[in-house]
Copies of this chain bind each other. A is one copy, B any other.
Amino acid sequence: MVLSRAECQDLDAKDPLGAFRDEFSLPPGVVYLLGNSLGALPRHTPERVAHAVETEWGVHLGASWNTAGWWDMPQSTGDRIAPLVGARPGDVLAGDSTSVNIFKVVTAALPLRPGRRVIVSDLDNFPTDRYVVEGAARALGAYEIRDVGEAGSSLEDALGEDVALVLLSHVDYRTGEARDMAAVTELVRAAGALMVWDLCHSAGALPVRVGEADFAVGCTYKYLNGGPGAPAYLYVAPRHQDAVHNVLSGWHGHAAPFDFEPHYRPAPGVRRFATGSPPILSYAALNASLDIWERVDLDEVRAKSLALTSLFIDLLDDLVDPGLGLALATPRDPERRGSQISYRHPQGYPVVRALADRGVVGDYREPDFVRFGFAPLYLRHVDVYDAATALAEVLGEELWRDERYAARLTVT
């Protein structure tokens, strides 16, 4: 039993998160289903960034390292991210990119398990995770990478007394499948290995609990609306914070940075994972979005996310002929789902282009994934209805055959 457009509008009128939509500046005439790639712009971000540029930098200049809290940005911003991943303030540091943070965390973690020389990674991780693990293994030397996932073995089979560390994504970037973080963490830790989570595709989309995990990393430019290339973050479990070493040991992670001591001496806690000068303008934008996130109930986000994603699946089940080649890649079980729905389709790329021409923005990932992200703060049921009917039309009328949609853009 699928909803009508009018019923969708009724649900939107009663949506407890409905008011948040007005806090975002959305592109006109578009159903934006790429909040899982680049989150929409919060309305008050331009003002906050302009203040950082014109007043903090332009007027107060270097004094702002103190007076505007620039120096503390990695920690103060990390403190604001912490509740979004179920961590305590003080256990999260914001900065650098996700890739750099994976490198920091993996190289810091491995020495905690001397004698164990295997890193388990998932071929279904976002590729940068696997690439950075290769780089970390190369830097440290004598580590082996064991792959799990679609093309490898199961996690259970991969675990053993030689495994030092497991790096997995909470939500798969292509299929939108969510792992049970608590259960996987328990399995990995029971095998004596360290658990590192990549939260890029889950934080802000559903309640995340780092729980007993050892480390985690994530980005802030997807569901968290921090802006393009916004500072990423890392989490270090309190039990490890003063035992680990950051090989990217820059002066911002020094115990006494302004004493200009000749040798590195790590700051207490997660601050030791800071490295160089933080890109303040990008932190300003991120903090503007966190002003919104600190008022959000993540259980309400999860409930709406499941309602929107289930509605999308149900509508497409109803509207699209099974012979048209559209295959759901995301689990039907809501518990195993992030806030993204992916389909496989042999003509995935032109399908996405044809949809975009009709005002529905999704994206494509090799080899044949069509992805739609559902950001519950600014998407409505009626948007989901319009997106599903547009997709059904593109497929049913084979609008993707238009030759304009064949040519690849550099970045999709």
Which of B59, B127, B227, B250 contacts A128, CB < 8 Å? B250
B275 touches A27 (CB 8 A): no
Question: A71, A126, A263: which has the most chain B beta carbons within 10 Å?
Answer: A263
The 7 closest A-B pairs by CB, nearest first: A97-B276, A99-B250, A99-B276, A135-B249, A228-B280, A128-B251, A41-B58
Q: Which residues of B contact A140 (CB under 8 A)?
A: 139, 141
Assembled-state Cα–Cα distance A149/B164 (Å) = 41
Q: Which residues of B contact A281 (CB under 8 A)?
A: 49, 227-229, 279, 281-282, 284-285
Smallest CB–CB gap between A151 and chain B, Å?
A: 7
Q: Which residues of chain A in 46-67 are interfacial with respect to chain B, using CB atoms and an 8 Å cutoff?
A: 46, 49-50, 53-54, 56-62, 64-66
Please list the residues of chain A having a beta carbon within 8 angstroms of any beta carbon in chain B: 25, 27-28, 32, 34, 37-38, 40-41, 45-46, 49-50, 53-54, 56-62, 64-66, 70-71, 96-100, 103, 107, 123, 126-128, 130-132, 134-136, 138-141, 147, 151, 219, 221, 227-232, 245-252, 254, 257-264, 275-285, 361, 363, 365-366, 409-412
A130 touches B262 (CB 8 A): yes
13 contacts between A and B (CB under 8 A): A97-B276, A97-B278, A99-B252, A100-B248, A131-B250, A132-B248, A132-B250, A135-B245, A139-B140, A229-B283, A231-B279, A279-B279, A282-B282
**11 further contact pairs, Cβ within 8 A, besides A99-B250, A128-B276:** A27-B59, A38-B57, A40-B58, A40-B61, A46-B53, A57-B228, A66-B411, A99-B251, A126-B251, A138-B247, A260-B366
Assembled-state Cα–Cα distance A100/B412 (Å) = 28
B100 touches A263 (CB 8 A): no
Q: How many copies does the complex hold?
A: 2
Assembled-state Cα–Cα distance A107/B25 (Å) = 43
Smallest CB–CB gap between A131 and chain B, Å?
A: 4
Smallest CB–CB gap between A219 and chain B, Å?
A: 7
Q: Which residues of B contact A276 (CB under 8 A)?
A: 96-100, 128, 229, 232
B54 touches A41 (CB 8 A): yes
With A127-B261, A277-B228, A281-B282 as known contacts, state yes or no: A100 contacts B250, CB within 8 Å: yes
Smallest CB–CB gap between A103 and chain B, Å?
A: 5
With A32-B61, A49-B281 as known contacts, state yes or no: A264 contacts B130, CB within 8 Å: yes
Smallest CB–CB gap between A381 and chain B, Å?
A: 21
Smallest CB–CB gap between A274 and chain B, Å?
A: 9
B275 touches A100 (CB 8 A): yes
Q: Which residues of B contact A411 (CB under 8 A)?
A: 65-66, 71, 258
Smallest CB–CB gap between A193 and chain B, Å?
A: 21
Smallest CB–CB gap between A358 and chain B, Å?
A: 15
Smallest CB–CB gap between A304 and chain B, Å?
A: 21
Which of B229, B260, B410 contacts A277, CB < 8 Å? B229
A100 touches B99 (CB 8 A): no
